[in-house]
Amino acid sequence: MVTLTIIANEAPYGTEKTWNALRLAGASVTAEIGMKVKVFLMGDSVAAAKRGQVTPEGFYNTEKMITDLVAKGVEVQCCGTCLKARGISDAELIEGAKRGTMIILAKWIKESDRVVSF
């Protein structure tokens, strides 16, 4: 099975980069594609994994997207330094999203067949 690591760097709202990163993750774990997917959130994208997001009706919600990905077996980690810099605690993260490190990301990159950065 091909392993794909997706790295997101941008804020979850304001640009569509994190949204598209999460969409690609979702498409990659479908039965048709069948990849093993890991998502690492860095910089402002760590806010995508914060619980309690309220978005306008009809607008995408990264909390829901990440929750759905975790339910499909996607591993989601957030840069711990980036979380700290933004005042986001582990308790504020969506269930299944974890605090990560650069060592974890480096291991994922080493073990992955493909790496995509948004």
Task: For residue 21, give every residue at least 6 positions away whose Cβ sits within 8 Å of its Cβ, in sequence order, or none.
Answer: 6, 7, 8, 39, 45, 116, 118
For the stretch 22-47, pLDDT in tens is 999 999 999 999 999 999 999 999 99
- Report the pLDDT averaged over residues 2-9: 98
Give the pair of three-digit tokens for residue 57.
Answer: 């009706």
Residue range 3-117, CATH number: 3.40.1260.10
Are the C-beta atoms of 25 and 37 separated by less than 8 Å? Answer: yes
Specify the pTM. Answer: 0.95
